[in-house]
Structure 1
């Protein structure tokens, strides 16, 4: 492994979104935010791209966030000045201003300017909402910076918008066809159309936007069934702290969920939405979607499912399933770790379809930058072919590690993957039938757990793969997920089966046999630490 600390996966393009943390000792400074500035590349919500920094370039003592939506800029200001977090965690209205600029007469920028000392207060909005400008948009602004002009209040200049490009259309058409490809049961009478697919700049932007729209439509607390990706939890924490988490997503918690929905009903509220991942990140459990569907119908809730890890190719969540599917296209759909994006798909067979369509007609604005869409469209052309390899490599590694978990002389404690979970029946119930062009599998993420922190560290340090917070790339990536995201909340997350002795793995497109050998060597190092010869 030649990639240096803080650098992106090769070929490490200008717009790469990964960074490498080669050793366990590398984690601590980044967890404690002491060396974030040392990253040469980074996930855009965690680290500003150099081009974004150059566009911001405010005067000393000031900094800014840049959005392409006036709504996002206003929500950022609203977040920063909200009094409910206490005076020490808010800005005064005088501290924050919004200025508007055009570049080339084609790009409208809404710039939220505030004191640099207040960045820790506002940074969560940038990180969690996912609405900030992309590196490609920033690069285009820098190339045309001489055309920058401020739009003053009362200006009659028309507002530039992101026009629907050929790339946008191709992506939406591709997703619609993938969702209708090899459905469970007979071909659906009502099929997803490209007009039912909405594109967003990132997965967090999609989740944040849907959540905000639903809060406006029906201001009641949503339920999150099963644990979810770190940013999803943050969105609910920051923007509706009254949400209810059923973090294990077990059959027993279905009873608790019904009690929660019943209590809402007694208070005169219809449930806003039941959210779930299929399968969950990072423990890969699959909920009983049919039961969630029954509860949603009984209590007037929407059922919203994030299928990012299961994927369009493997699972069909529209048949007797979700009202809405959210997918981070940044992951396996793109597959090259160099562009962000997400989709929200409305199920045309849902009895809530007209209501949801009306919400999106009123609120949705296309701000998925065209050059990002072009990159995403190109990357996703071989989605099925890549997914077949990702599925096969994941299953092969899981089989190897599962044999170690069953060996009393190994430090491998267990492997979390749909095939090793008691919830596998819930997953297989929604697997697409095999077809000539693709055989469905169990996804491209699994988690391996060790008996001790020492064994976990030895495995990580000796695992000759890339390491960092990303999944679905062309190369294998490992991350001590709990250690990285929840180092200050270990006792809390352990209630949901998550421990710092777990390492999340996202296999890439490498040769299967070579990958297994790489993992054998790392497990051997862990075993030797725990039980020296």
Structure 2
């Protein structure tokens, strides 16, 4: 029997982590952006399309799976016979999805308007639906579950310039140290990344360079979007810097894209040197600062464009998708970048989602401070445990991190670990760990997931050549009392002693 509760679950005190909680939403909210995958084998089954896993999902990360309300919307307005469709946030975003399908398959997609609404559907033949879903995942320009709910009910789905939207922009501007008119909101973090990529191509078409191992869809944009070309320097360390320097002497990229720190290895690239190279060779520097956790690092001053998933630490409660793109006002191309962004920009983060984002982010500074403290203490504990082989977490020994650390900034809330004898110890450790288990990060409740399995299941051998173990576990630390959190990890580690 599925786990049943008459009251919303408190995931801080009662995490979703047991086999009978498979598929439960995290948080306990119809609009949750994660679902519980409590056992190692559940994650394998999820990736392999096992119906016994997928049929239990009451939620999922919305770019990877379709929310039940989105499915209802597609069934009512878009799906017919062997034709299937997906709803996008605007006609322009739908046209980009259609262009992606035509570029990849040669087939022409159909655009279907939702009368009186900004959202627009894209319908393709069943053979092309997999490609349409790729764009949905990579670009993140998706109708949210709340917008789907409004459309199904015949209610307004406005994206208007409300006072609440201004508050959200002001809060983002505050941790980015810019004026609010340099901040642009999007329906997801990946939508902000995709917009940054389009802006770069509008300014200066050409090949980009991915510096350091990135989140999966950032690389896919550079690989799969029409007219995309790229070079990939997966480690992002000193040797890759030398390779980039050599490349710049021959043909500089139009832009370098990096994360600070990276996901999941938490490596901070030498942003100061990248900025020097950008100025010397006149390329743009795009920094995804999501894992700085809203202000632990001063990254925007070194970037031309900063992109942030507001779904994560800014929201912190796991029930809304959003993103932001920030233009550094002091960048050498700032005026032209602002002109290009404003000419193409449309508000696509719905008013109903902005309201939730504003409410969630009110306690962001205090919440992030607690997460910083907890993560540092948990990382110290994990480093000291005999069953843990590797701990990936920024520290005071990381010169690239500390050089750009904000005053009173911490080290963020993400930790990745690899256990000793991981092929035998990782599954039982994961199964026994008493924290919420599923994708997403930055929530007020601790989350753990087998990151490489979920993000790179079809390319495990390749990512291991980039230094990312298939057995890596990613931990997003929450605000639980640190003593309780440490005890949960200690119990799970002690439970695998027979396997080491």
TM-score by length of 2: 0.92
1:464 aligns with 2:434: yes
Separation in 2, partners of 1:109, 1:465: 37
Counterpart of 1:13 in structure 2 is: 29
Contact 1:331 1:471 in 2 (8 A): yes
Pairing 1:347–2:323 present: no
Root-mean-square deviation (CA, aligned residues, Å) is 1.7
Larger mean CA deviation between 381-390 and 121-130 belongs to 121-130
C-alpha contact 1:203 1:328 (8 A) present in aligned 2 = yes
Check if 1:61 corresponds to 2:61: no
- Superposition map of 1:135-214 within 5 A: 135-144=145-154, 162-180=159-177, 192-214=178-200
Pick the aligned partner of 1:442 from 405, 411, 417. 411
Matched, 1:282 2:278: no
Cα distance, 1:418 vs. partner? 0.6
- In the alignment, which of 383, 390, 404 is matched to residue 364 of structure 2? 383
> 1:37-186 counterparts in 2 under 5 A?
37-57=55-75, 58-82=79-103, 85=104, 90=105, 92-93=107-108, 96-102=109-115, 105=116, 107-144=117-154, 162-180=159-177
Partner-residue secondary structure (3-state), 1:99: strand
Give unpaired runs (5+ residues) of structure 1: 148-159, 181-191, 266-270, 405-409, 435-439
- Any conservation in 2 of the 1:226–1:250 contact (CA below 8 Å)? yes
Deviates most, 519-528 or 504-513: 519-528
Q: 2 CA distance for matches of 1:132 and 1:300?
A: 34
Rounded Cα–Cα distance in structure 2 between residues aligned with 1:196 and 1:216: 18
1:298 aligns with 2:280: yes
CA–CA distance in structure 2, aligned partners of residues 68 and 517 of structure 1: 44
SS of residue in 2 equivalent to 1:487: helix
Shift of 1:161: 6.6
Assess, with a 3 A threshold, how the Cα gap between structure 1 residues 293 and 2 changes in structure 2: closer, same or farther. closer
- SS of residue matched to 1:304: strand
Query: 2:443 matched to 1:425?
Result: no
Task: Give the deviation of 1:255 after TM superposition.
Answer: 0.6
Check 1:235–1:38 CA distance in 2 against 1; reply closer, same or farther (3 A cut). Answer: farther
Unaligned runs of 5+ in 2: 1-14
Aligned residue number for residue 189 of structure 1: none
Pairs aligned (count)? 476
- Partner of residue 407, structure 1: none
Aligned partners of 2:150, 2:273: CA distance in 1, in Å? 48
**Matched position secondary structure for 1:81:** helix
Separation (CA, whole Å) in 2 of partners of 1:513 and 1:161: 45
Is contact 2:90–2:348 with CA below 8 Å preserved after alignment? yes
In structure 2, the CA distance between the partners of 1:443 and 1:129, relative to structure 1 (3 Å rule), is same
**Deviation of residue 61 (structure 1)?**
2.5
Q: How far off is 1:205 after superposition? A: 0.7
Shift of 1:178: 2.3
Post-superposition offset of 1:80: 1.1
Deviation for aligned residue 1:118: 3.0
Give SS of 1:108's match: coil
Cα deviations by residue, 1:74-94 (Å, 9 ceiling, x for unpaired) = 111111122xx4xxxx2532x
Q: Does 1:416 align with 2:392?
A: yes
Quote the residue 2:384 is aligned against: 403
Which of 197, 215, 240 is 2:201 aligned to? 215
Question: How far apart, in 1, do the equivalents of 2:375 and 2:307 lie?
Answer: 23
Q: Deviations over 1:376-423 (max 9, x none)?
A: 01100000110011111111110001112xxxxx23111000118x6x
Task: Check conservation: 1:313, 1:387, Cα contact below 8 A.
Answer: no
Distance 2:210 2:347 in 1: 27
Shift of 1:262: 2.2
Report the 3-state secondary structure (helix = DSSP H, G, I; strand = E; otherwise coil) of the residue aligned with 1:489: helix
SS of match in other structure, 1:285? coil
Query: 2: distance between equivalents of 1:204 and 1:2?
Result: 27
**Structure whose alpha-carbon radius of gyration is higher:** 1
Match of 1:28 among 32, 44, 53: 44
**Secondary structure of 1:326's match?**
strand
Query: Contact 1:9–1:475 at 8 Å: present in 2 too?
Result: no
Q: Tell me which residue corresponds to 1:185.
A: none
The answer to which of 27-36 and 222-231 deviates more is 27-36
Q: Following the alignment from structure 2 to structure 1, what is the Cα–Cα distance between the partners of residues 25 and 88?
A: 25
Cα pair 2:16 2:36 within 8 Å, conserved: no
**Would you say the 8 A contact 2:16–2:436 is kept in 1?**
no
